[in-house]
Each structure stands twice: as C-alpha cells, then as structure tokens.
C-alpha cells in the first residue's frame, strides 16, 4: 500500500451505528478515509473487489457470510488487502481461524475509537496488532500445520537482510526497534517489509510471520 497517500478503509459490520461511529473516527484523520461500508459478508467481498481498499475492518458474526469466510475470499481475491478484525469475541478458535484466514490482527469491540485508528496505522506501517499471548498460541498452532514442498520455498526468496528483519519481527520488535538493532532508518525497515510482503504474497506482518512459522524458516525464539 502506498504510504504517501491516504489509507483506504472499508468497514464491514452489520450494525449501522457501529459503522457510523467508525466512519466518524476515521474520517477525522488526515491520513485515512472510509471508501465504503458493508452490512454483510457477501457485500464486504464484493465491495473489496470494486473499491480495492488497503484495509478492511471486519466483524466476525455477519449475515450471509461470516467474517472468517469473507476474509478468506478477500485474501484469495486480493492478497494485498489487509484485514483487521473488530469483534466482541475473544475465543481462541475464532482468533486462530481468523489468522489462518489471513487477518492481519484483531481488536475487541470494547476498544476505543482511537485504538482502532492507531491499529489501522500500525498495520499500514507493516507492524502487527496482536497480543503476545496470541502470538504464542499462533506458534503452537502453526507448528501443527503441515507444509507442502512448494510452500517451503518461500523462505528462499528473501535476502539475508530481509530474513534478518523477519526474525526480529517474529520476536515482536517494532519497526523502530528493528531499525535501532540493525543500525537502519525506520523508512528502510518499512521498505524491506514492503518487499517481504510482496515476495511472500501477503499484506501484513502477521501473515508473513505465520507463513514463516509454518514453513520452518522462522522461529519466535531469540537467536
């Protein structure tokens, strides 16, 4: 996604009041804009195809198509779109299912509007919106998933510097921390992450880390 332009956001929730509240929060920000609203999962998939947003803020429980299935279809259609889940559910099964479906992160609906706005910015910078306990569960889940030989070649696409950045990202380090660790600028780290996402066919750090964990070329352990 182009960091110099406004972050294009699609809202997908069956509650019109929540969508209105989110639109009011986002439209007050100079660096982002709401480009569309969907009241059900099928409409979210269709609008994502028509409007090509950078980020979709998605509910889990919606009519016609739930958030997990809608996320899967959106990611299959356009891997460059990042999905941020905003939901009332924090059950592990939902969270892991959403991450497997390609979600970049999740927040509970109890979060303040400012928190959601900052989460959109965080994802647009290539950083994760996940609690550390979720990362730990993600690792356990990822290590139980078999990987095809074709998938395992993805790690070979990354340069030594890109792999170095991914290893630090998998340890939960922010762009700023990674930049300081490697004596780089934050802009350079962002550029490397953008290249990594492009090579791996993902739209977020969460997806990139999950792919690396599943394929065995990433570890959450300090090296």
**Which CATH number characterizes residue 81's domain?**
3.40.50.2300
Laid out side by side, the sheet with 82-87 consists of 32-38, 7-12, 55-58, 82-87, 103-108
Helix, strand or coil for residue 8?
Answer: strand
34-90, pLDDT tens digit by residue? 999 999 999 999 999 999 999 999 988 888 888 888 988 998 888 888 888 887 766
Residues 12 and 86 reside in one and the same domain = yes
pTM of the model: 0.70
Residues 71 and 13 reside in one and the same domain = yes
Residues 34 and 95 reside in one and the same domain = yes
Residues 207 and 146 reside in one and the same domain = yes
Angle at 50 between CA 195 and CA 83, to 5 degrees: 50
Phi, psi of 58 (to 5 degrees): -120, 135
Residues 184 and 118 reside in one and the same domain = no
> What are the pLDDT tens digits along the chain (223 aa)?
444 588 999 999 988 888 998 899 898 888 999 999 999 999 999 999 999 999 999 988 888 888 888 988 998 888 888 888 887 766 666 666 777 777 788 888 778 888 889 889 988 887 777 755 565 566 566 555 554 545 455 557 888 899 888 888 877 788 888 999 989 998 899 889 888 888 888 888 878 887 887 777 776 554 4
Residue that is last in its domain, among 94, 124, 154: 124
Note whether residue 223 is domain-resident: no
Residue 75 to residue 14: CA distance in whole angstroms: 20
Residues 156 and 185 reside in one and the same domain = yes
Number of domain units in the chain: 2
H or E stretch at 2? none
Domain that holds residue 12: 7-124
In 35-157, alpha helices (H)? 41-51, 67-77, 92-100, 113-124, 132-142, 149-152
Note whether residue 153 is domain-resident: yes
């Amino acid at each position: 996604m182009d960091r110099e332009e406004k972050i294009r956001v699609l809202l997908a929730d069956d509650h019109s009041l929540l969508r209105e509240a989110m639109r009011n929060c986002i439209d007050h920000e100079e660096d982002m804009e709401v480009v569309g609203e969907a009241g059900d999962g099928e409409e979210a998939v269709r609008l994502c195809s028509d409007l090509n947003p950078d980020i979709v803020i998605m509910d889990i429980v919606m009519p016609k198509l739930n958030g997990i299935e809608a996320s899967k279809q959106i990611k299959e259609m356009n891997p460059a779109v990042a999905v941020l889940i905003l939901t009332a559910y924090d059950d592990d099964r939902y969270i892991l299912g959403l991450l497997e479906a390609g979600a970049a992160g999740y927040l509970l609906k109890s979060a303040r509007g400012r928190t959601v706005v900052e989460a959109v910015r965080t994802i647009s910078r290539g950083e994760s919106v996940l609690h550390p306990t979720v990362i730990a569960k993600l690792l356990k889940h990822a290590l139980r998933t078999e990987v095809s030989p074709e998938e395992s070649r993805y790690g070979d696409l990354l340069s030594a510097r890109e792999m170095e950045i991914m290893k630090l990202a998998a340890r939960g380090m922010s762009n700023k921390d990674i930049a300081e660790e490697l004596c780089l600028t934050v802009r350079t780290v962002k550029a490397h992450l953008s290249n990594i996402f492009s090579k791996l066919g993902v739209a977020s750090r969460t997806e990139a880390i999950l792919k690396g964990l599943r394929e065995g070329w990433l570890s959450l352990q300090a090296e």
